[in-house]
Amino acid sequence: MLSSNLAAFDMDGTLVQGRLVFALADRFDLSDKVRSIQSHRLMAGHEQTKAIAALFAGLTTKDLESTIASIPFTKNCERTIAALKDRGYKIGIISDSYTIAAGFVADRLNLDFVMANKLQIFNGKITGKVDMPLGWDRIGCYCKISVCKRYHLEKSADYFCVPIENTLAVGDTKSDICMIQRAGVGIAFMPKDEEIKKASDKIVNEPDLLKVLNFVNKAF
Ligand SMILES: [Zn+2]
């Protein structure tokens, strides 16, 4: 059966409370280094992702998995996903975090698709190298981040034969803007920076994911 709607969620700060990269950095005493890379204005987003992944070289997949498991879901995350599923939505994560984390969250929520950066692992350890899906290079998106969310929203909608007007996108930072602006309904959830506040007229300022449904369909 063809699905007529699709929802794409950012992961960090949207489906889960907090950010995996910060949680890892805190735990392994790399916070200053991560912050210094992220504040590097001349470095494009995808270059920052590469530099941050290199900092994690030597950590084990177990280190990653236990850190991921310690990050709680956002309030009413499961209920929101269930309500969208009842409506026949295809649902997925488009994240500039890592597949190992996004896959874990997607499994727990039983989602339909996942797009994220893939950390290269050798003998159970992170090598420091990362495979980035990119996408902005193909469609000329300004974002230049490791996962162009607009490109992957369009690709997922195509894959599930959902018209782009019937898509919902939810995110909380400027890395979500290109996706939010392209989606039929684009929502800034608990926005963390001025850029995304300015880019979206649909904003949820309460830490309750169920509130995004107010913008989707009054019947919720
Ligand atoms: Zn983009």
Contact predicate 74/209, CB 8 Å: yes
Phi, psi of 157 (to 5 degrees): -60, -45
- Ligand 1 centroid vs 175 CA: distance in angstroms? 8
Task: Give me the torsion for CA of 108, 109, 114, 116, rounded to 10°.
Answer: -60
Average pLDDT over residues 99-110: 96
pLDDT at 219 exceeding the cut of 50: no
pLDDT digits (tens, 9 = 90+) for 163-184: 999 999 999 999 999 999 999 9
Amino acid in the structure at residue 40: H
pLDDT at 199 exceeding the cut of 80: yes
Q: Hey, where are the domains in the chain?
A: 5-17+72-118+133-215
Whole-number pLDDT of residue 122 = 97
pLDDT digits (tens, 9 = 90+) for 62-73: 999 999 999 999
Phi, psi of 119 (to 5 degrees): -70, 135
pLDDT digits (tens, 9 = 90+) for 15-39: 999 999 999 999 999 999 999 999 9
Whole-number pLDDT of residue 201 = 86
In this structure, of 2-11, 43-52, 103-112, 132-141, the range with the lowest mean pLDDT score is 2-11
Whole-number pLDDT of residue 2 = 53
Task: Give me the torsion for CA of 103, 20, 67, 55, rounded to 10°.
Answer: 110
Whole-number pLDDT of residue 128 = 97
Tell me what the pLDDT averaged over the chain comes to. 95
Report field, pTM of the whole predicted structure over 0.75? yes
User: How many whole angstroms separate alpha carbon 121 and alpha carbon 140?
Assistant: 31
- Ligand 1 centroid vs 124 CA: distance in angstroms? 32
pLDDT at 211 exceeding the cut of 80: yes
Whole-number pLDDT of residue 220 = 46
pLDDT at 3 exceeding the cut of 90: no
pLDDT at 190 exceeding the cut of 60: yes
Question: 5-17+72-118+133-215 architecture in CATH?
Answer: 3-Layer(aba) Sandwich (3.40)
- Ligand 1 centroid vs 153 CA: distance in angstroms? 10
- Ligand 1 centroid vs 219 CA: distance in angstroms? 32
Burial class (CB in 10 A: 0-12, 13-18, 19+), 41: exposed
- Ligand 1 centroid vs 170 CA: distance in angstroms? 14
- Ligand 1 centroid vs 40 CA: distance in angstroms? 19
